[in-house]
Amino acid sequence: MSTFTEDFLLQLRAELARVLGLPAAAIYTGREPQKVTRVGFEVWVKPLPMEPHPYFRIHLFEVHLRLKSRREENQTGADQQDAVAVKLDDVREHFDGTVVLRVMEH
């Protein structure tokens, strides 16, 4: 028997992969990033403790997005930060009003 969290995470991972145009392997759950060797976007979803409420349950999840790539010549990482910001905007726009996400940039 599966739990709400397990079912929700399966659906969230699939939806994030679709929205971000990423392979399913790029999205996983856990507390920390994994040592992924491939270059590109990596997303992990961190389940948080439930918030108490007298009438319903509030399930919280943090969505982390990281881009592994080579820096441009000036070594600032600005291009990578811009690419991450675009993907985060895609996530916010897609889930706006349906799911509240705490999105963390890395």
Q: Please name the residue that has the structure tokens 């600032």.
A: 76
Give me the amino acid identity at 34.
Q
- Position 104 scores a pLDDT of 46
63 and 48 Cβ atoms separated by less than 8 Å: no
Domain range enclosing 27 = 4-105
- Position 12 scores a pLDDT of 87
Task: Indicate the pTM of the whole model.
Answer: 0.70
Question: CB 91: neighbour CB atoms within 10 A?
Answer: 19
| Among candidate residues 20, 12, 14, the one with its CA nearest the CA of residue 62 | 12
Quote the number of domains for the chain.
1
Q: pLDDT tens digits, the chain, 106 residues: what are they?
A: 568 788 888 888 888 898 888 888 788 888 777 776 667 788 888 888 888 888 877 788 888 888 877 666 665 566 777 888 888 888 888 777 665 544 444 4
59 and 4 Cβ atoms separated by less than 8 Å: yes
